[in-house]
Structure 1
């Protein structure tokens, strides 16, 4: 279980961390999520999640999506390069089933890893 935890060191915590990624991001876009990434100087990837109340109205849906995004990231973090990633939720993301969210994110992690490896 230890290797699949989502510890503090795997998260983007401060506004400056988010600003760093937003300033010069490599995007991976889908109908439900936009993933933005930028290389970091650490030995592991980090994740930040932004799900706006304007886009996803209900708190329980935002919480469900955050849990699914974190879970998907935990399973893929070993295959990702050393990058900081921000997942931005779009309108309609709350309509997806858990399986659809996982498969969509799986494709986007791969796309992002390929783009950041260049």
Structure 2
């Protein structure tokens, strides 16, 4: 398994984000809100939203995005064929990065359980 995060694994266009938001399949916790919508591509794709209300400085916003992308890159093989949009709700830094990654893993696990129960 090549752990890469290529262009085909990203949501890039506004209408791709809009279609995920429209379905309203979301789970949230203190750090993140994750939206999901099934796709027909056979692999998961990721979109990120980190607003200025969450973190004023671009350095902090970029750190949050890098952390989420890294988690996705390492875990994309286990994810279902869905489009995911991760919206940051609370800024975090190096001191509480592990808490944020654990919270993100928990949200994706919840979404996977939901998808499994709704498809059966």
Output the TM-score relative to the length of structure 1: 0.91
Structure 1 residue 33 and structure 2 residue 70: aligned? no
Where in structure 1 do 4 or more consecutive aligned residues deviate above 6 Å? Answer: none
Q: Which runs of 5+ in 1 are unaligned?
A: none
- The 5 A counterparts of 1:1-118 are 3-90=2-89, 92-94=90-92, 97-117=96-116, 118=118
> CA deviation digits over 1:47-73, x for unaligned, max 9?
000000122111111111101100111
Report which stretch shifted further, 35-44 or 72-81: 72-81
- Pairwise CA RMSD: 1.4
Cα distance in 2 for residues equivalent to 1:4 and 1:109: 18
| Alignment partners' CA distance in 1, 2:70 and 2:113 | 21
Distance (Å, rounded) in 2 between the aligned partners of 1:114 and 1:61: 31
In structure 2, runs of 5+ residues without a counterpart are none
Which shifted more, 41-50 or 108-117? 108-117
Q: Is the 8 A contact 1:33 1:93 kept in 2?
A: no
Report the TM-score, using the length of structure 2 for normalisation.
Answer: 0.90
Q: Which moved more, 1:104-113 or 1:93-102?
A: 93-102
Paired residue secondary structure (2:115): helix
Report the Cα distance in structure 1 between the residues aligned to 2:27 and 2:73, rounded to whole angstroms.
18
Tell me the CA shift for residue 25 of structure 1.
2.6
- The whole-number CA distance in structure 1 between the counterparts of 2:115 and 2:55 is 29
